[in-house]
Amino acid sequence: MNRKQIATKSSIISVSMQLLTIAVTFIIRKIFICYIGIVYLGLTTVLTDVLNMLSLSELGVQSAIVFRLYKPLIDNDQKTINEIMLLLKRIYKAIGLFIFGTGVILLPCLKYMISNVNISNQAIYLSFVILLVATCSSYFLSYRRALIYADQKHYIISLADGIVSILCGILRIIIIIVFNSLYFYLFVSLVQNIASNILLERYCKKHYRWLRTQGEIRSALRRSIYNDTKNVFASKLAGFVYGSTDNLIISAFISTVMIGYIGNYKSVTNVIKIVMNYMFLPIQPMIGNYLETEKKSASRILYDKYLFIRYIVACVLLIPLLLLTQGIIKAWLGAQYLLEWDIIFLIITDLYFSCIQGPAGEYITALGWFRFDRNISLIGAAANLLFSLSLIHEWGIKGVLIGTIISQMIMWQGKVFVILNKFFHFSKKEIIKNYLTEIFRILLFGIIFITCKIILECINLPDSIWGLSLQFVLIEVVVVLQIVLVHMRSRKRKYLVELFCDIKEMLESFRLSI
């Protein structure tokens, strides 16, 4: 298979498995709230974010390793691959032990991160220990994932994770209903991590028989990877800052219960985020492979096309999300769990900027320009904390979300400038034209949203399952028609035609796979 076919196959399988997993997750969340309560849902979310903070020690390792694997995989340099994988195995083992030790030290501090809820310290500590062990266990087996991913076989990871996740999801539902036990529910996370990584370990032993994780590592290679890891660490740190610290700040300064309410909305928006991530995840190794084998002019065309496709996907997925999330929450959980519409707008605005900054970030990673990514990300992370902490006293939750959006915009513009100026060597005129194009796209997004909103208000369909489904179809028709009309006479028309052909090919491939 060529690169496009591999990426298409990976996208189809990854998105399909994620959609199935998401369906099970929605059912679990509904049952969890009914049987255990939203207070404990907020607790588990906060504890998970604390573990994400501890996992910062891993940030940058896999990205640096995957980047180093592209060339030896193309050259079939098994010696170098074995050295890299051996180093990753040792690093992950050290990280797992470090996270466990640090987690135990942090136990007495957890009660200060939980506010305005009636939960015993024993419940907090025991829940955290179960999640801590589950997190640490993954590091002793998961290092082989990097090789499978770099070899453009992410669909294997998606299949293994998806199947195990669905089975464990069913197990969680049984545990909640039969035992009504938070601790048994959390223990399934440990089973899930071990099971999925064992499946991938067996796959590697079968398909990479030459893989050896014992021996010596060249000192030059070790130093090079360590330097890359330090630079990537800062970039991933920013991802943690605007992905996890928001919940910790809200929990500490406002209420832990509110994390459960916001989490309901993020469960809906994360459906789209996960679909987009898994749709584009196979592109990263494809870009790395492309940069190793193609000319820069071809890479520029790929970048332009990829950026346009990301924008189209953002319009097609985020505009319905912006209009229908309130109705989805009402139909799914009930009107008592609704929050202000402004909060939805801010969450989805953050998701929009996250989507459209993808190409620049992925090119920087594929090029190995981790130093640039480090500097941009440190500025973005500092801006996030500064604005979130400054605005929370005046605007509450909205202030925290606004700080996150500002951080996203800073990192987006910084990464775009690096790619356009340092890699493609755009002139000042071309860079300004690119910024004007992005402003036009944001305005177009707003115009399409307003058009859809007016149409829905005129029709006034109910917030039932069928009503929401009809609204979704109507919105998608309006979105696609407006995008096609706007770009019909531009040079992007070719990209639209290719995109529709790719979608047709993906649907045909999916039909044949079934």
What the block records as the tokens of 173 is 């539902």
Are 91 and 221 a contacting pair, CB within 8 Å? no
pLDDT score, position 133 = 92
pLDDT score, position 172 = 94
Domain extent, residue 205, equals: 3-293+339-425
Are 121 and 109 a contacting pair, CB within 8 Å? no
The phi-psi region of residue 371 (left if phi > 0; otherwise alpha if psi is between -120 and 50; otherwise beta) is alpha
pLDDT score, position 168 = 94
DSSP one-letter code for 422: I
Of 268 and 132, which is predicted with more confidence?
A: 132
Q: Which residues contact 237 (CB under 8 A, 6 or more apart)?
A: 56, 59, 377, 378, 381
> What is the sign of the dihedral through the CA atoms of 156, 162, 165 and 166?
negative
347 φ/ψ angles, rounded to the nearest 5 degrees: -60, -45
**Residue at 502 is within a domain:** no
**Residue at 485 is within a domain:** no
Q: Report the C-alpha gap between 54 and 39 in whole angstroms.
A: 23
**Residue at 23 is within a domain:** yes
pLDDT score, position 292 = 66
Percent of the chain residues topping a pLDDT of 70: 85
Of 512 and 330, which is predicted with more confidence?
A: 330
183 pLDDT band, cuts 50/70/90, is very high
50, with CB counted inside 10 A (0-12, 13-18, 19+), is buried
237 pLDDT band, cuts 50/70/90, is low
**Among 130, 174, 157, residue whose Cα is nearest residue 27:** 174
175 pLDDT band, cuts 50/70/90, is very high
pLDDT score, position 305 = 83
> Among 348-352, 363-367, 500-504, which range has the highest average pLDDT?
348-352
pLDDT score, position 514 = 47
pLDDT score, position 236 = 61
**Residue at 467 is within a domain:** no
57 pLDDT band, cuts 50/70/90, is very low
281 pLDDT band, cuts 50/70/90, is low
Q: Report the C-alpha gap between 495 and 394 in whole angstroms.
A: 45
Longest dimension (CA), the chain: 70
**Residue at 115 is within a domain:** yes
SS3 425: coil
**Average pLDDT of every residue of the chain:** 82
> Among 152-156, 206-210, 221-225, which range has the highest average pLDDT?
206-210
Are 176 and 28 a contacting pair, CB within 8 Å? yes
Q: Is the pLDDT of residue 60 over 60?
A: no
Q: Report the C-alpha gap between 330 and 243 in whole angstroms.
A: 25
**Segment 125-146, tens digit of pLDDT:** 999 999 999 988 888 777 788 8
**Segment 375-428, tens digit of pLDDT:** 887 788 788 888 888 888 888 888 988 988 888 888 888 888 888 888 888 888
Q: Report the C-alpha gap between 370 and 381 in whole angstroms.
A: 16
**Among 366, 466, 353, residue whose Cα is nearest residue 405:** 353
Q: Is the pLDDT of residue 76 over 70?
A: yes
Q: Is the pLDDT of residue 429 over 90?
A: no
**Residue at 419 is within a domain:** yes
Are 259 and 251 a contacting pair, CB within 8 Å? yes
pLDDT score, position 50 = 80
DSSP one-letter code for 111: G
Q: Report the C-alpha gap between 440 and 415 in whole angstroms.
A: 19
Q: In which residue are the tokens 């909305």 written?
A: 265
How many domains would you assign to the chain? Answer: 1
pLDDT score, position 230 = 66
What the block records as the tokens of 138 is 């993954």
What the block records as the tokens of 229 is 């890891």
**Residue at 472 is within a domain:** no
**Among 362, 396, 214, residue whose Cα is nearest residue 287:** 362
490 φ/ψ angles, rounded to the nearest 5 degrees: -95, 170
**Residue at 160 is within a domain:** yes
**Segment 335-355, tens digit of pLDDT:** 888 888 888 899 899 889 888
What is the distance between the terminal CA atoms of the chain, rounded to a whole angstrom?
Answer: 19
pLDDT score, position 248 = 76
**Segment 80-108, tens digit of pLDDT:** 888 888 888 888 888 888 888 988 998 88
